[in-house]
Amino acid sequence: MPLELFLDLYSPPCRAIYIFAKKNGIPFEFRPVELGRGEHLKPEFLKVNPLGKVPALRDGDFLLAESVAILLYLSRKYQTAPYWYPPDLQARARVDEYLAWQHTAIQLPATNVYLCKSLLPHFSGKPVDTVRLDRLLGKLKPALQHLDQEVLAAKPFLATEQVSLADLMAFTELMQPTAVGCDLFRDWPRLAAWRARVEAALGPELVQDAHKLVLQPRDPRDAQQDPRLAQELVHRLQERLS
């Protein structure tokens, strides 16, 4: 049975795994799971990940969740190029350092900006709350400043002299708000130059392929298919962003 990846390409960690597998020629079956339609809560998916979250991996009888764990599993199983997760102790530690830091410093605030700018208005039918959006962007600013003025002042990529898993995760996370009109690179020249380097390293066509869903407007019919689910999502989003 081929390796299966359960992904929603609206999700940055899912896109990171998709890009990594495609870039490295890893054979896999793409199993789409649409979070906006509640497919992650259906019994058949809960057998893959009882926590009801994507990404998830099934390799024969082996099941695995969490994006970083999946990326490391793929890099080890398929012995991908060493620059992704360097064998050098200190270089690898730099990748690990970013992957540990990014969960709360980048992923959480960047996702909240996206939810406020795109998902909440989509499912609630109400305009963007600009006061809330500005507050959420402010929470992301210290991390962007750190990357631009400290990390990227010393080297071309986040962990080493070459693209790594750290850059892949950061790129997909920072593209999420940018794709819906909150350009996180505009005020940070080193970060903007880094974005161009990462996109060149990954391949523009692959980047476009992975991001085509998030770059296009959501279908308004999605919010109308299951009013009860839409109402529940709005309630959860309001709680998260309050």
Q: Is the pLDDT of residue 133 over 70?
A: yes
Q: How many domains are contained in the chain? A: 2
What's the CATH number where 48 sits? 3.40.30.10
Its pTM stands at: 0.95
Over residues 133-139, the mean pLDDT reads: 97
Integer Cα distance of 35 and 226 in angstroms: 13
Residues 6+ apart with CB under 8 A from 133: 113, 116, 117, 182
Residue 60 lies in a domain: yes
pLDDT for position 230: 80
Q: Is the pLDDT of residue 220 over 70?
A: no
Residue 228 lies in a domain: yes
Three-state DSSP at 109 gives helix
Residue closest to 153 by CA, chosen among 200, 190, 178: 190
Q: Say whether both 102 and 125 belong to one domain.
A: yes
For residue 48, the enclosing domain spans: 4-77
Q: Say whether both 20 and 72 belong to one domain.
A: yes
Categorize the per-residue pLDDT at 82 as very low, low, confident or very high, splitting at 50, 70 and 90. Answer: very high
Q: Is the pLDDT of residue 36 over 90?
A: no
- From residue 9, alpha-carbon distances to 16, 17, 31, 142, 215 in Å are 9, 10, 11, 27, 11
Integer Cα distance of 147 and 188 in angstroms: 9
Q: Is the pLDDT of residue 228 over 90?
A: no
Residue closest to 152 by CA, chosen among 165, 161, 139: 161
Q: Say whether both 189 and 102 belong to one domain.
A: yes
Residue 169 lies in a domain: yes
pLDDT for position 221: 59
**Element holding 167 (H helix, E strand):** helix 165-179
- Strand-pairing partners, residue 63, are 58
Q: Say whether both 43 and 98 belong to one domain.
A: no
Q: Say whether both 42 and 128 belong to one domain.
A: no
- The answer to whether 67 touches 55, Cβ cutoff 8 Å, is yes
Q: Say whether both 72 and 94 belong to one domain.
A: no
- From residue 56, alpha-carbon distances to 2, 59, 77, 178 in Å are 14, 10, 16, 25
Q: Say whether both 122 and 70 belong to one domain.
A: no
Q: What pLDDT, in 10s, does the model give residues 37-81?
A: 889 999 999 999 999 999 999 999 999 999 999 999 999 999 999
Quick one: tokens of 24?
A: 């490295």
- From residue 144, alpha-carbon distances to 28, 62, 105, 187, 197 in Å are 34, 37, 9, 9, 17
Which of 77, 102, 119 corresponds to the end of one domain? 77
